Structure 1
């Protein structure tokens, strides 16, 4: 954001709120997809107990880890700086 230590205007607060919402929603979706992909076979098919428990536990571990990683990566990318002012351009002065 523009000024460090200063007050943020309403547009900056709205942008932060939208970015946090996007980070959380995309992290929830990614975690659900990973859980479904890893633990889904254990829930859908008749597997041996060991394989079923292993897949469920792996899904329960991987889903929150991926969700946290996704949230952090989105918020760090947002914090890194302003976006280009013109679509397709890497530098506003180019």
Structure 2
């Protein structure tokens, strides 16, 4: 296993931070979407409790799925991070009007 450069470690740190931040936003939006009716409508206490629990569980699940999705897509090696070489669509043509 090769040693990682400082740039690779920094890229991983940024990616982990992005995964957690975006996961928290998705979790908050999911929780708010489920619990919003309880805040806006006059529901019985039992219904509010159910919406609170369901919102919390779905928010936690959305957080975990988002973090896993972002980190799974992150390339693990330097070779995977390289951009593919750009080739012209018509070989031999160099100018845009040719």
TM-score range, shorter chain: 0.7 to 0.9
Report SS of the residue matched to 2:74.
helix
User: Is 1:69 aligned to 2:65, yes or no?
Assistant: yes
Structure 2 residue runs of 5 or longer lacking an equivalent are 88-98
Matches within 5 A, 1:14-53: 14-53=10-49
Aligned length: 85
Structure 1 residue runs of 5 or longer lacking an equivalent are 86-90
What is the RMSD of the two structures over their aligned residues, measured on CA atoms? Answer: 1.8
Larger Cα-atom Rg: 2
Q: TM-score, normalised by structure 1?
A: 0.79
